[in-house]
Chains A and B, each alone.
Chain A
Amino acid sequence: QKEVEQDPGPLSVPEGAIVSLNCTYSNSAFQYFMWYRQYSRKGPELLMYTYSSGNKEDGRFTAQVDKSSKYISLFIRDSQPSDSATYLCAMKETSGSRLTFGEGTQLTVNP
């Protein structure tokens, strides 16, 4: 069983929709939670970085962490065609830099 599970999609939504992306994990030692966006043939771009449980908002993006359920989410409001990309969740423990990634969800926002 993978430490981090993420539905690979693909997910297709109309422009302006609210997008919900999710990951579950099994390692209780994970304390830092991230979302990255990766465009085709590019490196991952950090969107959100949170520590422990709670919500964090940045513009159209909201990240939620529920450690009791081992479940994290990323919400994208007013989605745009430029949001079309693969979204990767990532997590790490309190020691070191080692990130454990989900397999990524491919999102397409249709004009």
Chain B
Amino acid sequence: KAGVTQTPRYLIKTRGQQVTLSCSPISGHRSVSWYQQTPGQGLQFLFEYFSETQRNKGNFPGRFSGRQFSNSRSEMNVSTLELGDSALYLCASSLAPLNEQFFGPGTRLTVL
């Protein structure tokens, strides 16, 4: 069974631009969560989607948004990029919210 896939794997943007990251969960998984990983803050929860509904949101500004489609694929968007948004963005999927979460390889975003 294929794992969680994330595209693109690497991205370079400049301040003020916006970016969209994509996540395809493991087949059959309906829950998708997003995390930001930085050397200073570690892994921090962004948001969680289940059956196309956002169930939970972390403590991030409104520039960070996401959505989930009927096939469980998810996207996250960051608008008006700042230098501090440079990070590894990780997507995790699970069958349902209480089940084990499996992470994808991440998208490494660099903001110049």
Contact = CB atoms under 8 A, between A and B. Distances in A.
> Is chain B found bound to chain A in the same assembly?
yes
Contacts of A99: 33, 35, 43, 45, 92, 101
A96 interface: yes
Nearest to A93: B98
B97 A95 contact: yes
Interface string A42-78: 1111100100000000000000000000000000000
Given A88-B43, A103-B42, A104-B42, A97 B94 contact: yes
A98 B56 contact: yes
Contacts of A46: 100-103
A43 B104 contact: yes
Please tell me the size bucket of the interface on A.
Answer: 20 to 34
Given A41-B108, A43-B4, A44-B43, 19 more contacts: A32-B98, A34-B100, A43-B103, A43-B105, A43-B106, A46-B100, A96-B48, A96-B55, A97-B31, A97-B94, A97-B97, A98-B48, A98-B58, A99-B43, A99-B45, A99-B101, A101-B42, A101-B43, A104-B42
30 contacts: A32-B98, A34-B100, A34-B101, A36-B103, A41-B108, A43-B103, A43-B105, A45-B103, A46-B100, A46-B103, A49-B100, A88-B43, A90-B43, A95-B97, A96-B48, A96-B55, A97-B31, A97-B48, A97-B92, A97-B97, A97-B101, A99-B33, A99-B45, A99-B101, A100-B45, A101-B42, A101-B43, A102-B42, A103-B42, A104-B42
Interface of B: 4, 31, 33, 35, 42-45, 48, 50, 55-56, 58, 90, 92, 94, 97-98, 100-106, 108
